[in-house]
Amino acid sequence: MPAIKRRPPHPRERRMIFANIDREDYTPDIDCYIRNGGYEVLRKAITMEPDAIVGEVKASGLRGRGGAGFPCGVKWGFIRRGGPKPTYLICNADESEPGTFKDRYIIHQDPHQLIEGIIISCFALDVHLAYIYIRGEFPEGAKILEKAIAEAKEKGLLGKNLLGTGFDLEIYVHRGAGAYICGEETGLIESLEGKRAYPRIKPPYFPAVLGLYQCPTIVNNVETLCHVRHIVDMGGAEYAKIGRPNNTGTRILCVSGDVRQPGYFEIEVGSLTMGEVINDLCGGLKPGRKLKAIIPGGSSAKVLRAGETYKIKEKAADGSLADKEIGIEDIRMDFDSLAAVGSMAGSGGVIVMDDTRDMVWVLNNLNAFYAHESCGQCTPCREGSLWMRKITDRIMAGGGVESDPDVLKSVADNIAGKTICAFGEACSWPTQSFVLKFREEFQGKSKKILPPPTPPEYLSETLIEQNEPKQLTGGSTTP
Amino acid sequence: MTMNLPAELLARVDEAISHYPVSKQSASLPLLHLFQEHYGFISEEAILWIAEKLELEPIQILGLVTFYPMFRRKPAGKHHIRICRTLSCAMAGSQELREHFCRKAGIDPHGDSHDHGDPITVGADGKYSIEFVECIASCGTAPVCMIDDDFYEAVAPEEIPDLLAKYQ
């Protein structure tokens, strides 16, 4: 791997998870980690009652950093210790939401922070077998994690009777093989069982009840598990003071696209607005450009258009709620604020687009992604994602017809909510929001009045029985 | 079992299986990775061998090979180039980057079938192959690519000859 380009933190960042990222004097080996206070929190954790650790995580208000923002303590609370089945823990390192690139740096530069977070979590949840599911395109990352696990074992921090506690834990690295759907927790579990990553239906397959090998399983994101280490270190109540109520802690934002300095920034959740992220952290837009659109939380999040205004309710100092109208640059970067403006904080991946971008082209790129990544299990998603791609492909090729914006919306509307997993929403939200908010661009490229030519495989002569030659030809423009 | 695996590969196979004490089936993906690393692709014999080793039906292994985009059923080039196609990299010029790579590596940029099952284009001499892949999670340093297992960020077209020279 080429030398890592190191960058000092921005003054407005608060680095906790990324404290050691891009430090000149920091290496990913265990000695460096221990020199910097590593595994001290684990030593503290093993003196605590496991339930007390779960209690601290609940008190911290930590919300999962993978995309859904589900409270981690609540998830953990579903696990009952001492049940008839073993409990497993899986670290979701399948980072593949377009726009997201945070776990890569933790894994490459500070792997022991993650390992320590996993060991503490396993101790709290009485887990003796844990897997790190890392995406196949991180071969280097998988090797680094395997080395880190071996180092931790050698020091007695992992394996049988770790640190003399009588507690046994094995962690293994499991590599994916290029399928985005493995980031969905039940798809990930199927994949880890050696099957196609077809997500399972909930209920009954909530991982905490029926997960890996039909046993209770906790699936947490890399960043979430790293936070656990810091929560146990400072105490849940203290951690909850960081950020904002219901949006606690720090979070890593990944900014890409049309800004001068794209990159990753760890901020207190909600401490900055969208405008501050773009203008202060990222140095603003490129010279002479104007902001056009922002995808705020990974490519599945609904797009926000520059110049839009949003009506939100804001809590005043006396606790009363007041209506307020804000613009795109005023949106606070936290879970609740991004949900209030109709999008989501998702995985923290912010993609910025300036006025040189063609929104049909952008949507077409995303549609190609979702059409490629649909697992194919549910018909609306498998077929719909491909239809949407074919339509935007055709519009880009100059064949847009008047009805296309409506057809796109209709296809998207018929996927969301009708599939086993949230991929249905993930693939339809971009189309729904792009067509709604940039309708004039889609209409501008969709001016033909004729219906599109019928593909050759649907020509009437191949479909219609010899004795009823004229029944299915209506609507076709092909002679 | 028709294949004779070298002792080292066999040892790695057994090691991988030992990571899954509950179900051998879980070792399917790791074994496919080991075979592809060693042989360059997943052959018919490999599918049969893995299935027998894990006490599965061959269709269960074939189903994985056709589902997971990283597995291929025919050889790629000696060095395989993956270029990210998804939004942030596309905005930074990954389409052009792909064309530059093709030109320098002696690959026909329009040579692939655009078929979901076979997205890899191999150059005539078999030295390099190229694949447009979905997001590889480094959007902040777009455009990015991988050559074999190595990862390259913010790749400029001018760098391509030097990059390729490292992979002979």
Give CA–CA dist A431/A413, Å, rounded: 9
Quick one: pLDDT at residue A355?
97
Would the CA dihedral through A393, A399, A405, A406 be positive or negative?
negative
A140–B151: do the CB atoms touch at under 8 Å?
yes
Distance from CA of A466 to the nearest CA of B (A): 33
Task: Return phi, psi of residue A462, to 5°.
Answer: -85, -15
A97–B64: do the CB atoms touch at under 8 Å?
no
Cα dist. A175→A239, B75, B101 in Å? 32, 21, 28
Quick one: pLDDT at residue B110?
79
Give CA–CA dist B27/B19, Å, rounded: 8
CATH, range A30-241? 3.40.50.11540
Q: Which residue of A has its CA nearest to B64?
A: A196
- Option in A177, A257, A369 nearest B70 (CB): A177
At A313, list the tokens.
Answer: 């309710």
AA identity, residue A380: P
Distance from CA of A325 to the nearest CA of B (A): 30
Q: For chain A, first and last CA: distance in Å?
A: 58
For chain B positions 13-72, those within 8 Å of chain A (CB to CB) are 19-23, 25-30, 32-33, 54, 56, 60, 63-64, 67-71
CA atoms within 13 Å, Cβ hemisphere of A82: 2
Q: Which residue of B has its CA nearest to A351?
A: B88
- DSSP-derived letter for residue B139 is G
CATH, range A359-444? 1.20.1440.230
Quick one: pLDDT at residue A98?
96
Is-contact A281 A265, C-beta < 8 A? yes
Quick one: pLDDT at residue A3?
42
A3 close to B (CB below 8 A) = no
Would the CA dihedral through A332, A337, A338, A340 be positive or negative?
negative
B64–A369: do the CB atoms touch at under 8 Å?
no
Give CA–CA dist A122/A116, Å, rounded: 10
- Option in A5, A104, A194 nearest B137 (CB): A104
CA atoms within 13 Å, Cβ hemisphere of B136: 33
- What is the residue whose two structure tokens read 């206070």? A37
- Option in A99, A104, A175 nearest B29 (CB): A175
B23–A213: do the CB atoms touch at under 8 Å?
yes
List of E strands, A235-275: 243-244, 247-248, 250-257, 263-268
Quick one: pLDDT at residue A458?
62
- Option in B54, B116, B152 nearest A2 (CB): B152
Quick one: pLDDT at residue A315?
77
> Which residues in A lie closer than 8 A to residue B155 (C-beta atoms)?
none
For chain B positions 88-117, those within 8 Å of chain A (CB to CB) are 88, 90-91, 116
How many interface pairs between A and B have CB atoms less than 8 angstroms apart? Answer: 151
Give CA–CA dist A116/A321, Å, rounded: 41
Is-contact A50 A133, C-beta < 8 A? no
Distance from CA of B136 to the nearest CA of A (A): 7
Number of H helices, E strands in chain A: 18, 13
At A394, list the tokens.
Answer: 């055709």
- The domain defined by A247-354 carries CATH number 2.30.30.60: no
SS3 (DSSP) at A354: strand
Distance from CA of B98 to the nearest CA of A (A): 15
CA-nearest of A87, A81, A75 to A211 is A87
Instruction: Indicate where chain A has its CATH 1.20.1440.230 domain(s).
Output: 359-444
A328 close to B (CB below 8 A) = no
CATH, range B79-165? 3.40.30.10
Quick one: pLDDT at residue B113?
53
At A357, list the tokens.
Answer: 């971008």
Is-contact A60 A226, C-beta < 8 A? no
Cα dist. A205→A126, A174, A186, B24 in Å? 21, 22, 8, 22
- Give the sheet arrangement for strand B150-152, strand by strand: B121-122, B128-133, B79-84, B145-147, B150-152
Distance from CA of B7 to the nearest CA of A (A): 22
* Tens of each residue's pLDDT in chain B, 168 residues: 578 999 999 999 999 999 999 999 999 999 999 999 999 999 999 999 999 999 999 999 999 999 999 999 999 999 999 999 999 999 999 999 999 999 999 998 877 655 555 689 999 899 999 999 999 999 999 999 999 999 999 999 999 999 999 999
Quick one: pLDDT at residue A477?
42
- Domain map of chain B by residue range? 7-67, 79-165
Instruction: Indicate where chain A has its CATH 3.40.50.11540 domain(s).
Output: 30-241
Is-contact A255 A281, C-beta < 8 A? yes
Cα dist. A96→A126, A226, A324, B23, B136 in Å? 29, 18, 35, 27, 7
> Which residues in A lie closer than 8 A to residue B22 (C-beta atoms)?
129, 213
At A325, list the tokens.
Answer: 């109208």
User: Is the bond preceding residue B143 a cis peptide, omega within 30 degrees?
Assistant: yes
Give CA–CA dist A241/A363, Å, rounded: 39
> Which residues in B lie closer than 8 A to residue A347 (C-beta atoms)?
none
- DSSP-derived letter for residue A285 is B
Give CA–CA dist A324/A208, Å, rounded: 39
> Which residues in A lie closer than 8 A to residue B116 (C-beta atoms)?
372
- What is the residue whose two structure tokens read 């960043």? A223
Phi-psi domain of A59 (left: phi exceeds 0; alpha: psi -120 through 50; beta: other): alpha
Quick one: pLDDT at residue A318?
80
Is-contact A132 A145, C-beta < 8 A? yes
B32–A177: do the CB atoms touch at under 8 Å?
yes
Relative to beta strand A127-134, strand A170-175 is: parallel
**What is the block-wise mean pLDDT of chain A (479 residues), using blocks of 10 residues?**
65 95 94 97 97 97 92 95 94 95 96 98 97 97 98 97 96 97 97 98 95 97 97 97 94 96 95 96 96 96 96 82 92 94 94 97 97 96 96 92 94 96 96 98 90 63 50 42
